[in-house]
Structure 1
Amino acid sequence: MTGETASSAQERRATGPHAGKRLSPWRVMLGILIAAAAGVAIWFGFHTVTDRVVIDPNQPWFAAYVDTTLTPAYAFESPASAADEDVVLGFVVASEEPTCEPSWGGAYTLDQAARDLDLDRRIARLRQQGGDVVVSFGGRDNTELAAACPDAESLAAAYRAVIDRYDLTIIDLDVEGDALQDTAVGARRAEALRILQSERDADDPLTVWLTLPVTPSGLDAAGEAVAAQVIDAGVQLGGINAMTMDYGVDLDGRTMGDAAISAVTGVRDQLVDMLRDTDEPLSSAAAWARIGATPMIGQNDVVDEVFTMDDAAQLNQFALDVGLGRVSMWSANRDRSCGDNYADVRIVSNYCSGVDQGQESFAVTLGDGLTDTGTAGSHTPVPLPSASATDDPATSPYPIWNADTRYLAGSKIVWHGMVYEAKWWTRGDVPDDPMVSGAESPWDLVGPVLPGETPYVVPMLPPGTYPDWSGDTVYHEGDRVLYDGVPFEAKWWTQGDSPAAASDDPDGSPWIPLTAAQIEQIAGSG
């Protein structure tokens, strides 16, 4: 799977399988139940004993992938249905160069994503509504952290930075392309995961899912080797999630739904074989709870492969029948019909599925009857503020809403402890007006003001980077100036119009301040 990003393109421990592992209560319970009820599909939470995660037996969970850095941003923080309440955010990879520092799509560090994408705030908002996130590392493009970090310890630290930042209970490792073939990278990845799991208490487990490409008959040799490395390192694998997409082979008349079922059946058999000689063997029936399926909805990258709504219903029913561990899809960003102006739907779009969905949703169809990930209760959500709360400029990351200020589309403000973003030009429209529906309001609710936040200070550039603004100078579109150290760019011809007025009248002012990302780029290039 891949995402469209600003930079889109990307040890082994041990002396034997599960060396040093202790027999956990889950394994004891699993062995007893398998012996007593062979052939019955059994689901034990996320394969660890915990009071926080309770999954209904034989109920798989559903969470769609979200292309996190794709613009315009997909509003996962405002779920349209129960099926949209949990999401898998992709992809965390190495920062550009590359370095052993986690980034979103190679385009945003974790801090930059918090600022430029409001990612932390949007996650907090989703959790306020009872949803949760899984974070996926890797993907098809950019450089995987396991390839950029020099050893397992530094890789574990990079993973840990993401896990701690977003308070994660489940992580997803999407291994594709060159990463499948590099055994040294695979050993480093496996050992880092073992380190992370060994640090967690029994009541605070970390569930690890491997997402791997498949053929219609299961994992290929490279994918099976990656999974075996993780298991042999002593990692308690939550499951293997099959990317049931882009097969690139003759399906012999089978539908994409048929191919998906065939693929995950093959992966189940392979997982049983891999675990047979370990201390957590599984029956074929029980193994279903450790298998996931992730189709690419609608038009796949392979022109002749189209995953339809009928395929989605077929896969959903199969998941319920066998107690599949997980169903996902690529991607929530694409879960809609393409517009009339998109002429050739055989060309994959990041914004639509390429099939006529009518009023139907792939997420709703695939997620029908499935549970959520069961992890939302493991967090303490940022409390919802009172509607009468008084906003404090000292703890507000954006200006507090003012009825007399004119706001352009994209402007962000704070009101009653929540952050809102303007959808279009607005003035005097109360952001939380209870009499106005979300579609009619000029404001989108982004999420809560987070604990510890302070006003964002626009970075300034040193004197001489651009000329200081002068009221006597004629400026043309694209000219840049400094005003009290803050860089501005002219939108059109102007003379005598001070950039200071841009904040009061952003629409009418000929000046627009440079974004923080632009300023950082200029400062870095200098």
Structure 2
Amino acid sequence: MAGPSRTTHLRGLVSRRFPDRRLSLVRLTILIGVLTGLVFAGFQGWKWFENETTPTRAAWFAGYVDVTATPQFGFEQPRSDADKNVVLSFVVASPDEPCTPTWGGAYTLDEAKDQLDLDRRLARLRQQGGEAMVSFGGQLNDELAVSCTNTAQLKKAYASVLDRYELDAIDLDIEGEALGNTEANARRASAIAALQTERAAAGSPLAVWLTLPVTPDGLSPDGTTIIADALAAGVDLTGVNIMTMDYGQSKAKNQSMGDAAEAALTSTQRQLRVLYDRASLHLTDATLWAKLGATPMIGQNDIRGEIFTLEDAAQLNAFALAQRVGRLSMWSSNRDATCGPNYDDVTRVSDACSGVDIGESSFSAVLGAGLVGTPDSGSGVVTESEPLAEQDLTDDPKTSPYPIWDADVSYREGSKVVWHRKVYQAKWWTKGEVPDNPVLQSFETPWTLIGPVLPGETPIPVPTLEPGTLPEWSGSTVYEKGARVLLDGLPYEAKWWTQGDSPQAAETEPDSSPWLPLDAAAVLATLATDPPAAG
């Protein structure tokens, strides 16, 4: 997410709605219906969540607030209940004193009290039932651990912010060059682990969220390494918040921002399981989902063409409630408005408006529906290994829709198999690679998990062709490239000259076989214009 220094180019921007871009009555009616349904569904979903978990794990919503942005955003006067919790950003290292925390590199904590009235405004928010957490880092300045090379002084710097603002929860936003800074990451992990231990002993436990960039395929290797190193150092992560924004080429061309967010959460949940298993902490699916958060960039993203709409927000909220995700946020509350007529290029990101016409609605209301917790909901919850239910992983050919994976069989791209009661599809040719190998990155495995084998499933019949549709294969016949034959009703095409090589071998050794298996339906569709070649 962007840091405060970006706002220096946007001074004096005033947020107004477009007078010529109002919601139509029909669209407004539909939107109100959707929101009403979401609120009801959110309430129902939350009650179920509440029954399944302890109150301290209550899922929550809070928008990020760019503290130093101009015009100043009045977070201390929430527009609605959805806006009463905030993530104040960003505390970073002072450009002149590396171990001194500042707001955006522009204000020390004392200067923010005097010049931004920050302490008083935070007190006002709490008087109205709101809560805040502070985010360290961001994209445009140095997070404290990057500049402060003394771990003891680094711990003291973090503690000074916690004490100043009476915090029970913090957010560590690590992105850009800081992601790969292994020395800084080690210092940060050591300092935060020590703080957690110290505060837990004093009866003031600290919830710690890591915020990291993501793609629809999940966290980068740098991102997973940061988590692994934090766990190894003894940090008890309340959760990992992924920045579901600015995907660039990692997002499929026709993939919506809502679908991309769902994919990113699902991929990261799988990665968290691997990371916690490697740390000898075996967690249930429910706990892993509760340790996940998502933060979209509302409206126009930094990448043109990536626009997170109210419909995407509704989709993400529904997904979060269904999966019982622990947290939703947004970048940023400052931007949760329709741009005014003086902002003539809405494809260019503004720090004071979203770039999309949201009428009388707000992203916070849609994203926050049904999430009733506060940022400190996870403080005091200790992560421990959980007993995992015994699973019957035996695969029965009679109840499997596809062949059961075999280490001795070669699988071509697109092949589907069953393994441990789940269906996988090959991304490329593969042999001997276990489909459920617990890798961190999707590019490390040739298999894509499609989903579980469903109750009552039986083998899916393989489409065949009637005898005589193509010539039957004969071991004594010479076949030229392009010749098509049938074997047991299955069609094949010769890739090169061949004689005596059974097409059946193409199913297990597709690369070395001279035969290419064909789709029966496709063959029927082309027979009229592409008659079978004689052997």
Give TM-score, length-normalised by structure 1: 0.62
Following the alignment from structure 1 to structure 2, what is the Cα–Cα distance between the partners of residues 254 and 272?
A: 26
- AA at the equivalent of 1:230: A
- Deviation of 1:286 after TM superposition, in Å, equals 2.3
- Deviation of 1:190 after TM superposition, in Å, equals 0.5
Q: Between Structure 1 and Structure 2, whose CA radius of gyration is higher?
A: 2
Runs of 4+ deviating beyond 6 Å: 6-9, 40-43
How do 1:47-126 and structure 2 match up within 5 A? 54-55=55-56, 59-126=58-125
- AA at the equivalent of 2:217: S
- The answer to whether 1:197 aligns with 2:196 is yes
1:398-432: per-residue Cα shift (whole Å, max 9, x none)? xxxxxxxxxxxxxxxxxxxxxxxxxxxxxxxxxxx
SS of residue matched to 2:186: helix
What residue in structure 1 maps to residue 221 of structure 2? 221
Following the alignment from structure 1 to structure 2, what is the Cα–Cα distance between the partners of residues 238 and 377?
A: 6
- Deviation of 1:343 after TM superposition, in Å, equals 1.3
Does the CA contact (< 8 Å) of 1:155 and 1:192 recur in 2? yes
What residue in structure 2 maps to residue 157 of structure 1? 156
Paired-residue identity, %? 54
Does the CA contact (< 8 Å) of 1:98 and 1:143 recur in 2? no
SS of residue matched to 1:357: coil
Following the alignment from structure 2 to structure 1, what is the Cα–Cα distance between the partners of residues 84 and 238?
A: 21
What residue in structure 1 maps to residue 175 of structure 2? 176
- Deviation of 1:145 after TM superposition, in Å, equals 0.5
Aligned length: 338
What residue in structure 1 maps to residue 209 of structure 2? 209
What residue in structure 2 maps to residue 342 of structure 1? 343
Following the alignment from structure 2 to structure 1, what is the Cα–Cα distance between the partners of residues 295 and 349?
A: 17
Following the alignment from structure 1 to structure 2, what is the Cα–Cα distance between the partners of residues 196 and 101?
A: 17
Following the alignment from structure 1 to structure 2, what is the Cα–Cα distance between the partners of residues 225 and 375?
A: 25
What residue in structure 2 maps to residue 477 of structure 1? none
Following the alignment from structure 2 to structure 1, what is the Cα–Cα distance between the partners of residues 327 and 209?
A: 10
Cα separation, partners in 2 of 1:6 and 1:295, compared to 1, 3 Å? closer
Following the alignment from structure 1 to structure 2, what is the Cα–Cα distance between the partners of residues 128 and 195?
A: 31
1:452-493: per-residue Cα shift (whole Å, max 9, x none)? xxxxxxxxxxxxxxxxxxxxxxxxxxxxxxxxxxxxxxxxxx
CA RMSD of aligned residues (A): 2.2
What residue in structure 1 maps to residue 322 of structure 2? 321
- The answer to whether 1:2 aligns with 2:2 is yes
Does the CA contact (< 8 Å) of 1:103 and 1:110 recur in 2? yes
Following the alignment from structure 1 to structure 2, what is the Cα–Cα distance between the partners of residues 367 and 6?
A: 26
Following the alignment from structure 1 to structure 2, what is the Cα–Cα distance between the partners of residues 41 and 182?
A: 39
Does the CA contact (< 8 Å) of 1:8 and 1:105 recur in 2? no
Cα separation, partners in 2 of 1:131 and 1:187, compared to 1, 3 Å? same
Does the CA contact (< 8 Å) of 2:243 and 2:294 recur in 1? yes
Does the CA contact (< 8 Å) of 1:295 and 1:330 recur in 2? yes
Following the alignment from structure 2 to structure 1, what is the Cα–Cα distance between the partners of residues 191 and 76?
A: 30
Cα separation, partners in 2 of 1:106 and 1:295, compared to 1, 3 Å? same
Following the alignment from structure 1 to structure 2, what is the Cα–Cα distance between the partners of residues 216 and 87?
A: 26
Cα separation, partners in 2 of 1:321 and 1:330, compared to 1, 3 Å? same
What residue in structure 2 maps to residue 35 of structure 1? none
Cα separation, partners in 2 of 1:43 and 1:196, compared to 1, 3 Å? farther
SS of residue matched to 1:210: strand
What residue in structure 2 maps to residue 234 of structure 1? 234
SS of residue matched to 2:355: coil
Following the alignment from structure 1 to structure 2, what is the Cα–Cα distance between the partners of residues 183 and 177?
A: 13
1:28-81: per-residue Cα shift (whole Å, max 9, x none)? xxxxxxxxxxxx999756xxxxxxxx34x6x52000000000012100000010
- Deviation of 1:97 after TM superposition, in Å, equals 2.6
Following the alignment from structure 2 to structure 1, what is the Cα–Cα distance between the partners of residues 191 and 52?
A: 26
Following the alignment from structure 1 to structure 2, what is the Cα–Cα distance between the partners of residues 136 and 150?
A: 20
Following the alignment from structure 2 to structure 1, what is the Cα–Cα distance between the partners of residues 264 and 150?
A: 33
Following the alignment from structure 2 to structure 1, what is the Cα–Cα distance between the partners of residues 205 and 282?
A: 20
How do 1:247-396 and structure 2 match up within 5 A? 247-249=247-249, 250-373=251-374, 375=376
Does the CA contact (< 8 Å) of 2:189 and 2:235 recur in 1? yes
Following the alignment from structure 1 to structure 2, what is the Cα–Cα distance between the partners of residues 364 and 273?
A: 34
SS of residue matched to 1:276: helix
Following the alignment from structure 1 to structure 2, what is the Cα–Cα distance between the partners of residues 210 and 187?
A: 14
Query: Which runs of 5 or more residues in structure 2 are unaligned?
Result: 10-48, 380-535
SS of residue matched to 1:99: coil
Give TM-score, length-normalised by structure 2: 0.61
SS of residue matched to 1:97: coil
Cα separation, partners in 2 of 1:312 and 1:352, compared to 1, 3 Å? same
SS of residue matched to 2:278: coil
Does the CA contact (< 8 Å) of 1:7 and 1:107 recur in 2? no
Does the CA contact (< 8 Å) of 2:64 and 2:87 recur in 1? yes
1:285-310: per-residue Cα shift (whole Å, max 9, x none)? 32100000000000000101000000
SS of residue matched to 1:258: helix
How do 1:16-31 and structure 2 match up within 5 A? none
- AA at the equivalent of 1:153: A
- Deviation of 1:152 after TM superposition, in Å, equals 1.7
SS of residue matched to 2:238: strand
- AA at the equivalent of 1:91: F
- Deviation of 1:125 after TM superposition, in Å, equals 0.3
Query: Which runs of 5 or more residues in structure 1 are unaligned?
Result: 10-39, 46-53, 379-526
- The answer to whether 1:140 aligns with 2:153 is no
Q: Which structure shows the higher helix fraction?
A: 2
Does the CA contact (< 8 Å) of 2:71 and 2:352 recur in 1? no
